[in-house]
Structure formats: structure tokens, C-alpha cells
Structure 1
């Protein structure tokens, strides 16, 4: 069994406005991502990956972009599912936000 004690686990700093903490099993990864310096003028670049993804908006508000679909404005309590290989991105609308992403399989690129 793995346990992540939030207050005792340091963030991985991705850039000046994104940091994360993660836990995983052999087949499933959960990532808490904190965003700051909002609202952003532009969305992050679209990206895709071979993983299934679900995202829970725990705090704040974002616009979620899916390639070929209308944008979705999401707030705390909302969730979204992203199929493998679908290009997607977010734009922070509130000053900060916390998203909880789950991935299957594990995002090996997130592991050190």
C-alpha cells in the first residue's frame, strides 16, 4: 500500500504557475495539480497522450479545451473525462485552481 501525506510531501515544480504531487499503483496514477497566477490570457498548448484521464476540479475555475469540441467552463465540483490521444488543454480563469487527475495506465513520463 502507498500513502501520500499531503503536508509531508513536497511539490514537484513544473513551472512558475504549475506544481503537482502524485501517487500511483501499477496501473493507476492520481495527480494533484495546483495552478496559480491566474487568470491566464491564453490556454496552455494542446497536448495528448495514450492514457485515459479523468479530472476533478477541486478548487477554482478553468476552461477545458478539447480538439474539435466546444470549450467547457468548469468550476469546483465538476469533472471531465479525456479519452486516449484526444488533444486537450486548460486555461485558468480564477486566480488559482486545484485539479485532481487520474490516469490509466500510469504516466511514466511523470515519474522521476
Structure 2
């Protein structure tokens, strides 16, 4: 289906205060992640994956951490990218946030089971 309507598709809970919606083609995936559990006193643990990633901050404010780069304070309207296999994470500064992640290739671990 080429359309995902947020008010018609149930979000998948990730953990308390975090939920996501996923749409994808064969080689491109977009994930909308909503947070309502901020602000966080510490960042999430660093992680990495083989997928290239871009992220648009649609709402909220955060600190972005990426291996070998200075930490960056970002707000709604900002974007960041993560090259393949780079350690990275975020720390939510606002109560709520919405991130729009794009991945190539698909992240099978985020597909509905």
C-alpha cells in the first residue's frame, strides 16, 4: 500500500513512551517515531547498524551523538545522517518528540512480524 495514514494505522509500541509507524519499498524504509517520555537525563546507549540513515526532527529537541563527531543540539526542522556502521544515539531534551528516519537498505528488525 503506497499510503500510511497515521490516524488509520496503529502505531507499534517500542517501549513505554515510544511508538513507531513504518512504511517501505524494496530498498527504502521510512519510520516515524513518537516519543512522549522525555526529557531524558542521559542518552540512550550507543548503537550501530549497516544501514545508512537520515533523520528529520519533526517535533521536539534532542542531542545527537555520533562516533567521531561533536555532540549536536537539534530541534524541529533539523536533520542528521548516520553512515553505515557508525555508533550513534540521541538524548531527548523535550517532553515529546517526533523523528522521521529513513533507512537503506531495509531494516528487517523493524518490519512487522
TM-score by length of 1: 0.97
Distance (whole Å) between structure 1 residues aligned to residue 2 and residue 87 of structure 2: 31
Question: What runs of 5+ residues in structure 1 fail to find an aligned partner?
Answer: none
Distance (whole Å) between structure 1 residues aligned to residue 17 and residue 69 of structure 2: 26
Match of 1:45 in 2: 45
Deviations 1:11-51 (A, max 9, x none): 10000021100100000000000112211011111000000
Distance (whole Å) between structure 2 residues aligned to residue 83 and residue 6 of structure 1: 28
Q: What does 1:80-99 align with in structure 2 at a 5 Å threshold?
A: 80-99=80-99
Alignment pair present for 1:3 and 2:6: no
Distance (whole Å) between structure 2 residues aligned to residue 35 and residue 24 of structure 1: 21
CA RMSD between the two structures: 0.8
Distance (whole Å) between structure 2 residues aligned to residue 37 and residue 86 of structure 1: 26
Q: What does 1:12-51 align with in structure 2 at a 5 Å threshold?
A: 12-51=12-51
Deviations 1:63-93 (A, max 9, x none): 0111222101010000011100000000100
Match of 2:105 in 1: 105
Match of 1:69 in 2: 69
Q: What displacement does 1:98 show?
A: 0.2
1:63 partner SS: strand
1:50 partner SS: coil
TM-score by length of 2: 0.96
2:46 partner SS: coil
Q: What displacement does 1:2 show?
A: 2.0
